[in-house]
A and B are shown apart, each in its own frame.
Chain A
Amino acid sequence: MFRYLIKQYVRNISRRKLFSFINVTGLAFGIAFIILIGQFVYYEFNYNTGLKNIDNIYRLVDVGANNYDADYRIKDQILASVPGVKNVSILNKYGTDANAGGKVFQIKDMLVVDRNFFDIFNCTFIHGNAKYALNTLDDVVLTETTAKNIFGTADAVGKTLRLNHKYDMLVTGVVKDLPENLSFNAEIFVNAVNSPKQRLFYKMSCLSFDQCKYPFDVFVEVEKNADVKKIEAQIASLNNINSYLFPKKIKLTPLKTNYFNTGFDDSNLMHGNVELIKILSVIGVIILLLAVVNFVNLATAAYRYRLTEMGVKKCLGANRSTLIKQLLIEALFTCTISSLLGIILAVLFLPYFNRFVDKPLALQIFNDPVFFILFAGFILFLGIAAGFLPAVVLSKISPIQLFKLNPYLKGTGKKYRGVLTVFQFAVTIILISGLIVITKQIDFVKHKDLGFNTEKLLYLKIHFTLKDRLQVIENKLRQYHGIKSLTKTLGRPGEIRMFMQNYETILIDSTSLKVFGIEIIKGRNLLAGDVDKACLVNQTALKNFKGGDFINQKVNGKEIVGVVSDFHYSSLYNEIGQLALMYNPNWSVCDITMRVSGPIGNAISYIKKTWEEICPDYPLEFGFYDENFATMYKKEENLAALVSIFSILAVVISCMGIFGLSIFQSEQRIKEIGVRKVLGADAREIILLLTKSFSKWVIIANVIAIPVAYYFLNQWLEDFAYRIEISWWIFVLSGLIALLIALATVSFQAIKAAMSNPVEALRYE
């Protein structure tokens, strides 16, 4: 019986190639995306699971502290007096520069850790020994890749590496690279004691001169089956001499769930992008639904082809459940073929997808049994879900139809097809309007006037240890004719580094406003004599003074002498807040801002050459202000790219389905068309007749799509402090585009039908 079904199935699909193609490719695309998204979600939910003792590792957070981290001294106390704790480790993460062999390397992930770290996080030493690594403050451990990058060999033990332009460190170990799906990346490791010694980088907050807290992320590995609640309570009850240093409210949270635990804000550990997972999942399901809709529509519309078979089989003794079973098996066959094609598509798309989500995903369907079983189960479910409605509709066919002379005229499942097609159009309209709104908003934020002149305006970052060379750099740059003007600031639009008395603060000098092209609207500019005495504020800050009067007002002890027009100093996600501009000539960390004229390329190569001459041991970090601001919307541009890919795919899948339906429709009405033509209808009227019902669906779809699209797009725009309004024409345009696409798809078939010879249509079968 099964063999017989396969035979019939194969002949069936090869007989109706176009419909089989539409069904299989649509489903294959849907399945391919579900595979990719599933792979991504699977990867995301498996963060840190590679660790041997992941179930016993907890992160100690101080729920009462701002950053949820705790002073490093708690580690020794826990180890000394809390039973059930196996190991404790502390961690911080910074970026730094590393010099070796006359070259400079930018290190993004320098982990400041203790030796226990290597135990808890299963680091394997390739060279050196965990026992002796990080013994002193001047020890450094590298990962294999970093060692190869810097020294050209993994065996770097005994070599010297200068960190942060100041500290010469001795390489005492090289470890295997940490797994990719760990909550933090690592390139080099240094001793945590550097922090309280205030070497390299450190965070601290002080109550008084001698009471300083050095916050770290603390990881606690407990004994197997230990009572975590009890340990938590015991840690909280530790007798501590200094209440300022001791965490206010301790909580042990499993590291296993930390990746999605975004409640604990922290800069050291990575967190999953729940938004992205949500968006991707929704899109994947929608693409799949569109494909399933095609399947259902075409399968039920193929009624006239299946009529004889279903009716005859019933006459021959098949009951309805046998036929439903047969139809479900057929749907499963289709899904299986589609899934094979889907896997191939997934393999092809994987590199692009990886670039998009920025993860090194690999297809695991065939080497991970769990994944394979999940996938097989999904295909089974899909087959049954897609096959259900057609099975019910087709198996209902009554054998009485067989006795009719022309049984094909009456359609079946018509109302489902209407509803499903409306769904497809509605999705298309939502995606198209989404695409328009997202593109418009990105365009808006990228091109909005920032309040200062960004034309050919460059910034150049100066490391704080370059203090001695700053004047040389400045002089050399000023010599170049292509640099029109130049100024130094601490902090700059796009990167604010100071916050004083509720004011975002940028330190400037008397030339800065002119270079940036920022206007003074009240009072006066800063003068040479204002050093450390006076400041300017922006318009927004002025609003907070009674009657807009700033005379005799102060910010952090500096008198306000003038008001500048508002300009954007951070991305357009944020509203412009209170800003203070202070005069501070004591430059250490600073940014040089310059406006170039003439060819940009020449200016850049001059800057590069100058940098090479003066600071060959420092990385050159510079950029254009407008580009810098534009990169802040990378996330949205990614989203726009994603939405456009899926919109196109959704439109193509829907179109294929509608095209298939239009063929069925014109075949079903072939006699009607013939009669109408004989009675004098011309081609135009026939085309109108055939496209009318599809147009009706598009209009209903519009009514459904507009409020849905409006709601979600408005939600998305809420993220921006500066946003476009959703105007009515966007929906009119999307509706028209959908209608045009539908008409273009349908008219191909309609024109063909209208041009046909009525004699052909009316000929007795």
Chain B
Amino acid sequence: MIKLTNLSKYYENKFVKTFVLRNINLEIEEGGFVSIMGPSGAGKSTLLHILGMLDSPSEGEYHFYDETVHKMKEKKLSELHKSYLGFVFQQYHLIDELTVYENLETPLLYKKIKSDERKGMLADILDRFNIVAKKDLFPNQLSGGQQQIVAIARAIITKPKLILADEPTGNLHTDHGKEIMEMLKKLNNDGTTIIQVTHSDLNAKYGNRIIKLKDGWIEK
């Protein structure tokens, strides 16, 4: 599904190149649950951004299925976002001005899904995540855990092939964190590929593969 070849990321500043990622070679199979781990500043987040097509590599190649991501224009990238990718953030990032229902509806609007179909999908997802009662509330009326549940629901409503999660439980109590991880595990069991960045060994155990980064290298 994902193939990174000799991929590097660096910032150039007055003739000095600061490397964030060095010579990454990585393949991720469809259906995997991968955890990226490593100390602060190891390049975990940058790797996730590149995998999520939010940032571009300085060198090397990125193939997503048959697409050559490193050569793509913005328009094509947003097409890929719409059809294949879902994001989950440490700080949830629900849109404050929109209700739960409207937040969930946003990706469908950008995918230009017709109203009837949209309603069906929304009813389905509210039911599946057990948040029907909360659909008219605004994000600031929900607890952190509830917000993250809505965020995950929003990430998967378009049925993405790949979910990228950045410390999804970082802001949550242990109990809520566990709930979220189980939810991700279940999605993985249903066939969705998941890549998460985490500090926690406990969370990493939900996955089936760990990639350790240090100073921009993948530790063998």
Tell yes or no: A713 within 8 A of B by CB: no
Whole-angstrom distance between the alpha carbons of A15 and B96 in the complex?
A: 10
Given contacts A8-B98, A308-B95, contact A403 B89 (CB under 8 A): yes
Q: A316 within 8 Å of B by Cβ?
A: yes
- The answer on a CB contact under 8 Å between A312 and B78 is no
Tell me if A207 counts as interface (CB < 8 A to partner B).
no
The range of chain A's interface size is: 20 to 34
B137 to chain A, nearest CB (A): 14
Is A478 located at the chain interface by the 8 A CB criterion?
no
Within 8 A of B (CB), among A312-337: 312-320, 322
Nearest-neighbour CB distance to chain B for A404, whole angstroms, equals 9
A620 at the interface (CB under 8 A from B): no
- Best-buried of B45, B55, B89, B95 by chain A (most CB within 10 Å): B95
- Kindly state the separation between the CA atoms of A697 and B54 in the bound complex, as whole angstroms: 36
CA distance in complex: A403, B49 (Å): 9
Q: From residue 80 to 114 of chain B, which have CB atoms closer than 8 A to chain A?
A: 81-83, 85, 87, 89-91, 93-98, 102, 105-107, 109-111
Query: A residues within 8 A CB of B93?
Result: 308, 311-312, 402
Q: Are A319 and B97 in contact (CB under 8 A)?
A: no
Q: Is A229 interfacial (CB-CB < 8 Å)?
A: no
A317 to B89, CA, bound (A): 16
B43 to chain A, nearest CB (A): 13
- Chain B nearest CB from A382 CB (Å) reads 24
Contact in complex: A402, B110 (CB < 8 Å)? no
Among A7, A11, A315, A319, max chain B CB count under 10 A is at A315
B97 adjacent to A309 (CB under 8 Å): yes
Query: CB-defined interface of A540-578 with B at 8 Å, one 1/0 digit per residue?
Result: 000000000000000000000000000000000000000
What residues of B have a CB within 8 angstroms of the CB of A405 in the complex? 90-91
- Whether B48 sits at the interface, judged by CB under 8 Å, is yes
Instruction: Check if A403 sits within 8 Å of B48, measured CB to CB.
Output: yes
Is B117 in the interface zone, CB < 8 Å from A? Answer: no
User: Of residues 151 to 172 in B, which have CB atoms within 8 Å of A's CB atoms?
Assistant: 154, 158, 166
A315 and chain B: residue at smallest CB distance = B87
Q: Given known contacts A309-B95, A316-B81, A317-B78, is B90 in contact with A403 (CB within 8 Å)?
A: yes
Of B49, B98, B105, B107, which one neighbours A317 at CB under 8 angstroms? B107
Q: Is the CB of B48 within 8 A of A322?
A: no
Check B90–A317 contact: CB distance below 8 A: no
Q: Is A128 an interface residue (CB 8 A)?
A: no
Cα–Cα, bound, A313→B49 (Å): 16
Interface string of A9-25 (1 = CB under 8 A from B): 00110010000000000
Interface assignment of B75: CB less than 8 Å from any CB of chain A: yes
CB <8 Å contact, B54 and A398 = yes
Whole-angstrom distance between the alpha carbons of A7 and B136 in the complex? 14
Q: In whole angstroms, what is the CA distance A172 to B71 when docked?
A: 91
A505 to B79, CA, bound (A): 89
> Does the CB pair B110–A313 fall under 8 Å?
yes
- Identify the closest chain B residue to A318 (Cβ): B110
Given the known interface contacts A1-B109, A12-B97, the answer about A7 and B102 at a Cβ–Cβ threshold of 8 Å is: yes
Contact of A315 among B54, B75, B91, B96 (CB under 8 A): B54
Nearest-Cβ distance from residue B47 to partner chain A, whole angstroms = 11
B190 close to chain A: CB less than 8 A: no
B72 to chain A, nearest CB (A): 12
| Complex Cα gap A672–B167 (Å) | 26
1/0 per residue A441-468: CB within 8 Å of B? 0000000000000000000000000000
Residue B55 contacts which of A4, A12, A400 (CB distance < 8 angstroms)?
A400
Query: Is A179 in the interface zone, CB < 8 Å from B?
Result: no
Residues of B contacting A8 in the complex (Cβ-Cβ under 8 angstroms): 95, 97-98
Q: Which residues of B contact A313 (CB under 8 A)?
A: 95, 106, 110
A318 to B109, CA, bound (A): 9
Q: Which residues of B contact A402 (CB under 8 A)?
A: 87, 89, 91, 93
The answer to whether B12 has its CB under 8 Å from any CB of chain A is: no
Contact indicator A399/B102 (Cβ below 8 Å): no
Q: Which one, A7, A15, A317, contacts B82 given CB within 8 A?
A: A317
Known: A400-B55, A402-B89, A403-B49. A316 touches B82 (CB 8 A): yes
B158 to chain A, nearest CB (A): 8
Q: Which of B54, B74, B89, B95 contacts A319 (CB 8 A)?
A: B74
Cβ of B164 to closest chain A Cβ, rounded Å: 9
CB A293 to nearest CB in B, in angstroms, measures 25
Pair A314/B97 contact, Cβ less than 8 Å: no
Chain A: minimal CB distance from B100 (Å): 14
Q: A402-B89, A403-B166 are in contact. Are A317 and B95 (CB under 8 A)?
A: no
B110 pairs with A317, CB closer than 8 A: yes
Who on chain A is nearest to B46 by CB? Answer: A400
Min CB distance, B154 to chain A, in Å?
8
A319 to B82 alpha-carbon distance, docked (Å): 10
Chain B residues with CB under 8 A of A316? 81-82, 106-107, 110, 154
Cα separation A1 to B115 with both chains bound (whole Å): 10
Q: How far is the CB of A396 from chain B (nearest CB, A)?
A: 11
Residue of A nearest to B105 (CB): A4
- Residues of A within 8 Å of B106, CB to CB, are 312-313, 316
| Interchain CA distance A403-B44 in the complex, whole Å | 11
In the complex, chain B residues 122-159 whose Cβ is within 8 Å of any chain A Cβ = 154, 158
Tell me the bound Cα distance from A308 to B96 in angstroms: 8
Point out which of A7, A314, A320, A322 has the most chain B C-beta atoms below 10 A from its C-beta.
A314
Complex CA gap A8/B95 in Å reads 10
| Residues in A neighbouring B111, C-beta threshold 8 A | 317
Query: Could you tell me the distance between the alpha carbons of A320 and B109 in the complex, rounded to whole angstroms?
Result: 15
Interface contacts beyond A11-B98, A309-B97: sample of 18 additional A-B pairs, CB < 8 Å, sorted by A: A7-B102, A12-B97, A312-B95, A313-B106, A314-B78, A315-B52, A315-B81, A315-B87, A316-B110, A317-B81, A317-B82, A317-B107, A318-B110, A319-B75, A402-B89, A402-B93, A403-B90, A405-B90
The 5 residue pairs across chains A and B that have the minimum distance between CB atoms:
A317-B82, A319-B78, A11-B97, A316-B107, A317-B110
17 sample A-B contacts, Cβ–Cβ < 8 Å, listed by A number: A4-B109, A7-B98, A8-B98, A15-B96, A15-B97, A308-B93, A308-B96, A311-B93, A312-B93, A313-B106, A317-B81, A317-B111, A319-B77, A320-B74, A399-B54, A400-B54, A400-B55
